[in-house]
Chain A
Amino acid sequence: MLKLVGVRKTFGFGTLDENHVLRGIDLTIDAGDFVSVIGGNGAGKSTLLNIISGVFQPDVGQVLLGDRDITRMPEYKRAAFFGRVFQDPAQGTAADMEISENLAMASMRGKRRGLRQNLKKSQFPIFRERLAMLELGLEDRLHQRVRHLSGGQRQALTLLMATLVEPQVLLLDEHTAALDPKTAIKVMEVTQRLVSTLKLTTLMITHNMQQAIRYGNRLVMLHAGEIILDVRDKEKENLTVEDLLRQFSRVTGDEGVSDRLLLG
């Protein structure tokens, strides 16, 4: 359903800082896949996600969604296809607007905005029902401004906003990394609940190998702009952190990787 073909991206081409970030990525994500992506700092994970969502365009290669070529489509036009959540809880919501106003805007994802009122009373029951799925008590706080929410609450709200209009692919970029461990687990549970209830196709970047092994039916490892591991289903279920580390040093010939991959 989502297909990357020979995608390359270089930043600062022709300058001293020339940086080949993606060096020929071929990746096909099937409908219903939940793909975890791991890799060290600067491996190109975020760049990969930004090329899918249209923040950047690849230098070479194609991005295909279904049988549509969206390689050159601007970011705001792809909003209809993708829901995104980033690491920074401040990035996904408008702080000075109410929870209800944020959700109402998200309900217009990828649609034509007009002069109808943004807040529609008829949507409130849906908002409450979805907020209740978070089990954070936000369903009783519809008219509170997002500024007053904690980082974890904001991140959970962003997840709802990313899935309110069902996206073809949900894109998560280390969306639990800025949270304390307890909250991170909570947000991850919410993610799993939403993904399985709505049967969403999902791409999740994470630094946490346990998380990558535990969630999803497929695991992709990225290193220096190339995919060095892509396992799924049965094979993935039997994976351990040690396997991942061994695989990583085999490909890179690097023995001291565990720290960089784990802590990096």
Chain B
Amino acid sequence: MSGLLNSILAATAQGLLWAVMALGLYITYRLLNFSDLTVDGSFATGGAITAVVITSGGSPLAAMGLALIGGILAGFVTGFLNTRMRIPALLSSILTQIALYTINLRIMAKPNIPLLNQRTLFSLLQDMGLGRIGTGLVNGLVAATLTAVAMYWFFGSEIGAAIRATGNNPAMVRELGANTQTTTLIGLMLANGLVALSGSLVSQQQGFADVGMGLGAIVIGLASIIIGEVLLPSTTFWMRLVGVVAGSVIYRIVITLVLEIPGIKSYDLRLFTAIIVALALWLPQVTAAWRQRRGRKGQDEEHA
């Protein structure tokens, strides 16, 4: 039984580290209302930069700082394609994602860089006597909390409010004198900065960076956001951020439990994730229809 408990704790740690990515995606998907597929590329960019910096002797913190900047640049490219060159959102982000595949390989010079026996954020804590899982939990908790707090503060600011309103009603934002091209650009840059930071953390935790490590990140992020919204259908902005983090953790725990089923292979997970997301996206329609039917029935009974 302690084996299962251990894997759930490990999944929790992983969920917290990936939550930083999901929070970044929340900025584009929910606040800006921008379908940003850059994520799959910028997540790997974070890992790639981290691996190169650390293997060439840089400190883990420097690696994370540079990963953050790399992600911000990736978001800038998507934003530039969309706001200045007027390429539709989805297409802009796919173009950046494809371009990043090449760039990530150029950064790493090979498809995979191991980080075993290197000094990472994780090895530092492990050296202090914390176990592998404990290290993941501490790092994940700190990273997810700091990210959520920073987002809460920023999106309550004057600029942050204008970014949120851009996703809601861009015509109004222009009418109030903010440049919606700029607000979109800032949102995309912040989002992909966080995504790359998450890629940096994950690569350090798993002990390698791989050019394909971001594949499907967008779907995992969506799953986290939607699970959070279904389980914590709350109204305040802070609770919605908490919901995203919780969604990311729950997603990882579910995946871990699914893998316990005999006959399930790890490569079945992507199909499983796609099905979860499809069902979760469908759920709001189902509950709305159900509520309406119940409302109708209730009224019929009243009149009967």
Contacts and interface: CB of A to CB of B under 8 A. Distances in A.
Interface in A97-119: 97, 101, 104-106, 108-111, 113-119
A82 B94 CA distance: 38
Given A113-B159, A118-B157, A105 B165 contact: yes
Given A104-B161, A116-B157, A110 B177 contact: yes
Nearest to B235: A145
Greatest chain B CB density within 10 A among A97, A105, A106, A110 is at A105
Contacts of A96: 164, 168
A115 B159 contact: yes
Contacts of A118: 156-158, 160-161
A79 B157 contact: no
A95 interface: yes
Given A96-B168, A97-B165, A76 B158 contact: no
A95 B168 contact: yes
A152 to B, nearest CB: 18
Given A94-B168, A96-B168, A113 B175 contact: no
B176 A115 contact: no
Main SS class of interface, B: helix
A75 interface: yes
A105 B162 contact: yes
A119 B160 CA distance: 11
Contacts of B297: none
B171 interface: yes
B174 interface: yes
A79 B171 contact: no
Nearest to B164: A97
B221 to A, nearest CB: 20
Nearest to B168: A94
Greatest chain B CB density within 10 A among A94, A116, A161 is at A94
Nearest to A91: B171
Nearest to A83: B175
Main SS class of interface, A: loop
Contact of B177 (A79, A93, A101): A79
Contact of A109 (B156, B165, B168, B176): B176
Interface string B90-108: 0000000000000000000
A92 interface: yes
Contact of A105 (B161, B171, B174, B180): B161
A8 B162 CA distance: 34
A72 interface: no
Given A76-B178, A80-B177, A119-B156, A95 B161 contact: no
B: contact size bracket:
20 to 34
B161 A75 contact: no
Contacts of A97: 161, 164-165, 168
B171 to A, nearest CB: 6
B240 to A, nearest CB: 11
A94 B177 CA distance: 14
A77 interface: yes
B179 interface: yes
Greatest chain A CB density within 10 A among B156, B169, B180 is at B169
Contacts of A105: 158, 161-162, 165, 176
A94 B165 contact: yes
Contacts of A145: 235
Interface string B132-176: 000000000000000000000010111111101100110110111
Contacts of A113: 158-159, 162, 178
A145 B71 CA distance: 33
A97 B31 CA distance: 11
Nearest to B156: A117
Smallest CB-CB A-B distances: 6 pairs:
A79-B177, A118-B161, A113-B158, A94-B168, A110-B177, A94-B165
Interface of A: 53, 75-80, 84, 90-97, 101, 104-106, 108-111, 113-119, 145, 161
29 contacts: A53-B175, A75-B174, A76-B178, A80-B177, A84-B175, A91-B169, A92-B172, A93-B169, A94-B165, A94-B168, A95-B168, A95-B169, A96-B164, A97-B164, A101-B161, A104-B161, A105-B161, A106-B176, A108-B158, A108-B176, A109-B176, A110-B176, A113-B178, A114-B158, A115-B154, A115-B159, A116-B157, A116-B158, A118-B161
Given A91-B169, A117-B158, 12 more contacts: A77-B177, A84-B175, A94-B164, A94-B169, A97-B161, A97-B168, A105-B176, A113-B162, A113-B178, A115-B159, A116-B157, A118-B157
